[in-house]
Amino acid sequence: MLDAIYRAARDRIGNLAAGLGDHQLRTPVPATPGWTVHDVLAHLVGGAADVLAGRLDGAPGDSWTARHVAERRDHPVEELLAEWERAAPAVEASLPKQHTGPNLAADAICHEADLHEALGLPRTDRAHWQPLLEVMARFPGRRLGDTATLVIIDELGQQWRSGSGESVTQLRADGYELMRGVFSRRSRRQIAGWDWSPEPPSAVVDGFGAFGPRDDDQPVPTG
């Protein structure tokens, strides 16, 4: 499944990137401070190229991703997409059996939404990110253990339950927003403002995102 998710995301991002002008490529991406749309594309291509080359030291840390951007900062989009095309089969072959290293399928889905939000485009389709939400929605309650229980319910009535404590906190939220939150794409203020009952402990809000909390509010696209 991950290989198909990655392949489809690469196609969509490639089609989007190929139609962007220079001004759009220079647009800052709020989800990745300091990066432009071109930089996000460079990172996606660089990650694939590193899988092909077996160059995964430091992955998926900041120095690893920064190198992708630095090495491709002056490469035109056509060149980036051609490099991605060459490297993609190696990524797809690695994903079904992946146990370690960066999950480039999840990375592509996350950054696709980053690009849509930066460019003011509608949110990405649910069918694209739903399989990842089904796994990641249990992340916010991973540390609760027997101290509390977190129940998350999306707008379709899908439910995720984590923890086993008697104290129960319930969250009702839109599936897209949940997906963005668990990928650390929503601020603490934004997460705390969702429909919680009762008000969530700060530890739950701070630990909601897989990549740590953030304090910069993010753009919320239309449906």
Regarding whether 115 and 6 lie in a shared domain, the answer is yes
Q: Which residues lie closer than 8 Å to 135 by C-beta, 6 or more apart?
A: none
Residue 154 sits in the same domain as residue 114: no
Strand partners, 160: 152
CATH number for the domain harbouring residue 106: 1.20.120.450
C-alpha 68/C-alpha 65 separation (Å) is: 5
Supply the DSSP symbol for 26. Answer: T
8 & 87 share domain: yes
| CATH classification at residue 198 | 3.30.1050
Q: What is the pLDDT of residue 62?
A: 86
Closest CA to 43 of 69, 25, 63, 24: 69
9 with 98, same domain: the answer is yes
- CA dist 63 and 69 (Å) reads 10
Structure token pair of residue 193: 């403002």
Question: Per the domain annotation, does 215 fall within a domain?
Answer: no
Among 83, 103, 81, which residue's Cα sits nearest to residue 92?
103
Do 148 and 102 share a structural domain? no
Structural domain containing residue 54: 2-119
74 in a structural domain: yes
**Domain count for the chain:** 2
pTM across the whole model = 0.94
If you search the block for the tokens 């370690």, which residue do you land on?
A: 100
* Residues 50-105: tens digit of each pLDDT: 999 988 887 788 889 999 999 999 999 999 999 999 999 999 998 876 545 568 99
Cα(69)–Cα(116) distance, rounded to whole angstroms? 19
Chain-centroid distance of CA 134 in Å reads 14
Q: What sign for the dihedral angle of Cα 122, 140, 216, 67? A: negative
pLDDT, greater one: 188 or 99? 188
Read off the pLDDT of each residue in 24-49 and give the average, rounded to a whole number: 97
The answer to whether 27 touches 37, Cβ cutoff 8 Å, is yes
Q: What are the pLDDT digits (tens) for 95-152?
A: 876 545 568 999 999 999 999 999 999 999 999 999 999 989 988 988 777 888 999 9
Q: Does residue 13 contact residue 41 with C-beta atoms inside 8 Å? A: yes
